[in-house]
Amino acid sequence: MKNKSVFPFVAVVGGLIAFGMYKAFTVFPTMPLQASVQAESVDGAWNGLLIVETSIYALVMSFLLYCLVMFRAAKREEQGDKFDRSRGRFVEVAWVLVSLALTLSLAALGAHELRALISDPSADIVVEVHAQQFSWEFYYPETKQYGTKLFMEKGKRHRIVLTSKDVVHSFWVPEFRVKQDAVPGKAVSLILTPTVTGKYTIMCNQLCGWGHTDMQGAVEVDEHDDFVNNTKASDF
Ligand SMILES: [Cu+2]
């Protein structure tokens, strides 16, 4: 008889846990500002993953709570009620199939978003980013200018071409989400379309030596006019 109450219990308690976690993630956002087209894509995949994980967590925790209450031993010497195992095979097979379907769907979601990020190499502005222990240097091949700061124009597609003079570094601006390794002897591209003007920080995301934590660079995203003004000097 007791087992019949498992579904409403899991539905109500699991629903409350899931709702509580959803509220917590909304009230205390875990992500920095979303400042690029690519960030929207990454956040979409992240939120999808979060919904699936939260649901599974709520399901497992509510079922665990149900078992703790319903199958407890009333007295120390008594054994608790045994779970009806006649449906065990069904639960096992269903769980394996559901997990498999979920894992494949998440892999497909990830592949879809990754494809969207890297399939189109076209860009309005090309910037070479040279990484070395422990600094970043920027070069705009179209205008042949060097910069100590990365200027970007809002709404324009930038192809960041990464190279490294010594060891492996990694270009990462948290507000843009995507990151890419800079590998010695290789030029690796990354497409970025900033959507919010402002100043951001490039962090090296690959442990690259004693000065790794100081390996930061400045990024400024400007409207068209400010971008033109800021990049007017021969080098900047
Ligand atoms: Cu580095």
User: CA gyration radius for the chain?
Assistant: 26
What pLDDT shows up at residue 92? 85
CA distance 122 to 176: 18
- As a whole number, mean pLDDT of residues 175-203 equals 95
Distance, in Å, from the CA atom of 236 to the CA atom of 234, rounded to the nearest integer, reads 7
Q: How far is the CA of 160 from the centre of ligand 1 (A)?
A: 16
Global model pTM greater than 0.75: yes
DSSP label at residue 90: H
* Position 177 confidence tier, pLDDT thresholds 50, 70, 90: very high
In angstroms, what is the span from residue 162 Cα to ligand 1's centroid?
Answer: 12
Residue 211: inside a domain, yes or no? yes
Q: What is the distance in A from the centroid of ligand 1 to the CA of 165?
A: 11
Confidence of residue 1 (pLDDT cuts 50, 70, 90): very low
- Ligand 1 centroid to Cα of residue 215, in Å, is 6
Query: Which residues face 131 on adjacent strands?
Result: 136, 164
Do 65 and 172 share a structural domain? no
Q: What are residue 147's DSSP bridge partners?
A: 138
Question: With bands split at pLDDT 50, 70 and 90, how would you rate the model's confidence at 30?
Answer: confident
> Which residue did the predictor score with more confidence, 30 or 195?
195
Report CA(173)–ligand 1 centroid distance (Å).
Answer: 13
Given the structure tokens 């971008």, which residue do they identify? 227
Quick one: pLDDT at residue 58?
A: 93
Domain of residue 134 covers 125-230
The CA 171 to ligand 1 mean position distance, Å, reads 8
Q: pLDDT-derived band of residue 224, with 50, 70 and 90 as boundaries? A: very high
Q: Is the pLDDT of residue 200 over 90?
A: yes
What the block records as the tokens of 45 is: 């995949």
What average pLDDT score do residues 127-138 get? 95
User: Residues 139-160: what's their mean pLDDT?
Assistant: 93
In this structure, the strands spanning 150-153 and 179-182 are: unpaired
Please state the domain count of the chain: 2
Please give the distance, rounded to the nearest whole angstrom, from the Cα atom of residue 120 to the centre of ligand 1: 27
Residue 235 lies in a domain: no
Would you say 167 and 235 are in contact if contact means Cβ atoms under 8 Å apart? no
Q: What is the pLDDT, as a whole number, of residue 119?
A: 83
Amino acid symbol at 15: G
pLDDT number for residue 165: 95
* 62 shares its domain with 135: no
How far, in Å, is the centroid of ligand 1 from the Cα of 6?
A: 53
User: How many C-alpha atoms does 2 have within 13 Å on its Cβ side?
Assistant: 12
CA of 212 to the centre of ligand 1 (A): 5
Name the nearest CA neighbour of 138 among 195, 193, 183, 202.
Answer: 202
CATH number of the domain residue 151 falls in:
2.60.40.420
Residue 2, pLDDT > 60, answer: no
| CB neighbour list of residue 152: distance below 8 Å, 6 or more residues apart | 125, 127, 158, 192, 194, 219, 220, 221, 222, 227
Residue 50 inside a domain? The answer is: yes
Q: If you measure from the C-alpha of residue 167 to the centroid of ligand 1, how many angstroms do you get, rounded to a whole number?
A: 8
- Residue 193 Cα, ligand 1 centroid: separation in angstroms? 23
**Is the separation of the CB atoms in 43 and 31 below 8 Å?**
yes
Same domain, 63 and 170: no
Phi, psi angles (nearest 5°) of residue 190: -145, 130
Residues with CB under 5 A from ligand 1 (ion): 169, 204, 208, 215
Q: Which helix (H) or strand (E) covers residue 218, if one does?
A: strand 216-222
Q: Mark whether 110 and 154 lie in a shared domain.
A: no
Token digits of residue 49: 């993953």
Q: Alpha helix locations (H) across 71-185?
A: 88-118
Residues 105 and 168 in one domain: no
pLDDT at 220 over 50: yes
User: How many whole angstroms from 42 Cα to the centroid of ligand 1?
Assistant: 23
Which tens digits make up the pLDDT trace of 46-84? 888 888 889 989 999 999 999 888 887 776 666 655 666
